[in-house]
Structure 1
Amino acid sequence: MENLPDDAINLGSLQAIALDTNAFGKGLPDLEHLRKLSELTARIGIEIWVPEPVAWEWAEHLDREVELFRRSVSPIFRTMKRGGLKGEPPTLPASGDREIIDEFLFQLSSLPGVTVVYLTGESAINGLRDQILQTGPGRRKDGVKTGGSDSAWLRDILAKAGGDFTRIALLSKDRDIREACKTLRVSPPYMLSLYNLNRYLFRFVNESEGLARRVIVHFTNLISESQANVYDGWIEPDFNLGDFESDSSFLLGDFRGSDHQVHAVTLRHVHEVLEVSDVGRESEQEGDEPEEGAGAINDATFKVLVKFRADVDVSTYEIDGDGEVQMNGHTLYDVRITASLLMELSNGEINYCIPLTNARIDPL
């Protein structure tokens, strides 16, 4: 596949990378490479999808390769034995009894960050129809009708993507995919070779946009984890945005115009990350671009501006006519918090975060 121009794909907009049977070449899987790839993409919020028919094809091809090795090596050891040489052929699982296939499918499904997109009945029927009628990816190879598998899994990937491929990249060299998309009346996904994906990923994760994506993933994970920390409708956020500042009239809410004063503001519940911007590196450790692997992310310290949708608790006080301090409190829901943070990236993980200034609270 020819190299793509630099602006051909924006990894910052991707939801997932789907893999075709020939993603790693020769129709065979490479689970170690896939594991490294999924670790890298998970840090920037991109999923890895393997269609179930692709997993089946990998399993069958792997089973076939083991059987070919068995058949080729047995005569060699027989020849060695006749010549008086010692040696035993390796013990291999029996081909054709599903041991190899089942073990591979188990190992694939156990990879963190890799989602097997299971084949649906409707897509299987449509794929078979395309193969028989020679529509979409249906084609002939050496006089035999084929293409049903590609048609089926492509439909399931399309459904999982929400009906369009604008946020999907496909690791494939199969040009029939574009013909299939014409039949489905959708624009094709980004088509990438493994080499180009590695190149794009290495560049992306080391630029500001890649850092911004990792910040979003970091805080989104923290917010998700905090959902389990619910007590009486209150969720304790597990990160520090520092002290808060805002217009006192906004913080006072219904006490606006009274003698109440703001006493304290505390973070009650963070709903989501709204925006990440102004990423600036303080320092970094340089690394070498990998040739074939997904590559390691450089360590770095950087500043970043993060906006959240959140709820805050505001405590107020007033001094009554007897000189006594009267305390009150209320909650402001769905406010925007803008925090300037210093973050540290080590071995690809954000493990340090401190506020640089007071966080700003404003209405959404």
Structure 2
Amino acid sequence: MAEVDIATWVPEPVAWEWAQHVAADWDTVRVRLGDEAKAVKKAGLTAFESPYVDVQDVAENFLAKLAEVPHVVIIPLSAENARKGLRDQILQRPPGRKKEGTKTGASDSAWLRDTLDSVDGDVTSLLFVSEDGDLRAALESWDMDPPLMRALKDLLATLFKVTADTGAVTPVLLSYIFEHFLADHSSDVFEVGVTPKLQSAVEYILDERGYPRVDNVAINRITQLVGVLPVVVEEAEDSGTDERANANEETSKLRRGMYGQADHKTPHTAMATLMLLADAEAAVSRTDADDRYVTSIATVSDILLRVVMVFDLRAGKVTAVRAEGEAEVFGHHEGYDSGEDALSAFVDAITDSIPGVQVPDGWPYEQEKEFQAEVNGHYVRLGFSVTDADAWEIEAQVDGEVVELGCAYDVGHRAWLGREDSFDWPGAYQLSFSEASSSNPIWALAAWIIERLYR
């Protein structure tokens, strides 16, 4: 926002809420590291110590840092609107309401009134980055115009003229990701944002391994890029938009710097939804033979993430990258109830997620069992064949290199009721990838293709 000279207003009560959440997270880390930190310090080593004294210190430091952010304006809470907000909460007038039996809404009412006072009541001059229906209800009850509201994920398309990338920008983004985050020598950290469902996903997997207590779950590293959903780009501020109607023309202009020319003050922006495989680490505990708790670190591989990333570009190069919103977390898939379910999952996964590879409508259910394409100077082919009753194989080829994704019935999932009657436990149809063992074989195949097309 600072780059395009747009001020971001943060009402003071909202800033306080953010500070409280940050302080609570800090305190959680402090408590969880307590015993282990003491043991490290007792051993004569430098323990993990925070420069902050307590949660109040954390909150105050956060608020000070927030005030330093360019183009962020803190809207002070006024005494008059604090009183009106408390009245709305007590009398249960919007945005006042009950949440689990407790009256709430004073803070929302107060900051909304202060914000409106800052623009002399002109709602149309504000864009609220929120999906809170209480905000809309409050303005309606105050006989004011409906607010312009957008979810954070839709902010880019709202503020800028964006268009679907036709093939020029995506390879630039992929090259940057492979060079900076997925290279063996890279020390860059791929920040995927907040992962609220990571704890439960890892807990489920580790519980199966016999670890009843799981703490301090975190993404350790990103291991593979397995999918890129369609990329959108901010249109360049020049008169050549019409000329970039086809991919070849767009590519040549990109090389000349039309996406973020060096003399432009404003960098152009691209947004991509990435599918990633990651390793997660967690502190785990279980009892030993002497009934004592033993703590260790466990790694869970092939955690599937979906994260929206925003890339700033200048002169055809990525200059900055950041996560937008929360990352979605998916655990390991434990199998399918039929070969058809597994095939449907595969087709759904790769459709529109491998840049340049367009899966034909109806493939592979219709007569044509094979398709091929030329992508980024490489030849790619996908073929389907039935190997047994309700079992199948996908053969993938890139420039002559071949791998297979297979689906087969696992007889270990068959349960017998007497001599003749039987049934299958869920997940009887298992997938395997010929290149490497993976807990997410569909996405492992997608990663294999993407690496060979763009790395």
Q: Higher Cα Rg: structure 1 or 2?
A: 1
TM-score with structure 2 setting the length? 0.37
Q: Which has the higher contact order (CA 8 A, sep 6+)?
A: 1
